[in-house]
Amino acid sequence: MPVITHLGSAGIIWILWAFVLICIRKYRICGIKMLAGMFTGLIIGNFILKNLVARDRPCWIDTDILMLISVPQDYSFPSGHTLASTISAVILMQEDKKLGIPAVILAVLIAFSRMYLFVHFPTDILGGLILGLIIGFSMKPIWNKISDYLQKRKASS
């Protein structure tokens, strides 16, 4: 579980995946949407909601549990690992199920690892999941509007 959870730390696996996709012409837009979605999740989830809710982590409350990973220093709600994983998995599923299915499996494993490792409550995971679904599904229509705007602007030039 520590290895799985570290894959999601700072969204690193998803950021790397996005950069690989950006290098492939067919999937370039998908990679850009992933980065935009994760950036949106970072702002809303990690910078705003975590500090607004200010929920203690389970490992802060019960310090008798032997930790397998270092104790996180930021607040618990929502789970940033779950948030970034869900956003990425949704965008990948929308783009190509062959990319999306492994992403969904990895996202579920990462989310579960956060509870298993005693750094999140189930509701933290649920919060990250719901917000991740909202942001992930929002990226496609937002991208379509941006794309339409740019095409209209280019046509009028």
For the chain, 157 residues long, the average pLDDT of each consecutive 10-residue run is: 90 96 96 97 97 96 92 96 98 96 97 97 98 97 92 85
Assess whether 6 carries a catalytic annotation. Answer: no
Please state, in angstroms and as integers, the Cα–Cα distance from residue 31 to each residue in 16, 19, 127, 147, following that order.
Answer: 9, 6, 24, 15
In angstroms, the CA 115 to CA 124 distance is 9
Tokens found for residue 65: 């549990």
In angstroms, the CA 147 to CA 127 distance is 30
Q: List the catalytic residue out of 55, 57, 81, 114.
A: 81
Q: What is the biggest distance separating any 2 CA atoms in the chain, rounded to whole angstroms?
A: 66
Tokens found for residue 23: 């290098």
Q: Contact, 136 vs 31, CB < 8 A?
A: no
Q: List the catalytic residue out of 120, 128, 129, 136.
A: 120
Give pTM, 2 decimals.
0.92
Assess whether 120 carries a catalytic annotation. Answer: yes
Find the helix packing angle between 12-22 and 80-95, rounded to 10°: 30
* Cβ atoms < 10 Å from Cβ of 98: 8
Q: Cα 44–141–41 angle (5° rounding)? A: 15
Q: What is the pLDDT of residue 34?
A: 97
* Torsion angle in degrees (nearest 10) through CA of 104, 108, 113, 114: 100
Q: What is the pLDDT of residue 10?
A: 87
Q: What is the pLDDT of residue 143?
A: 93
Q: What is the pLDDT of residue 19?
A: 97
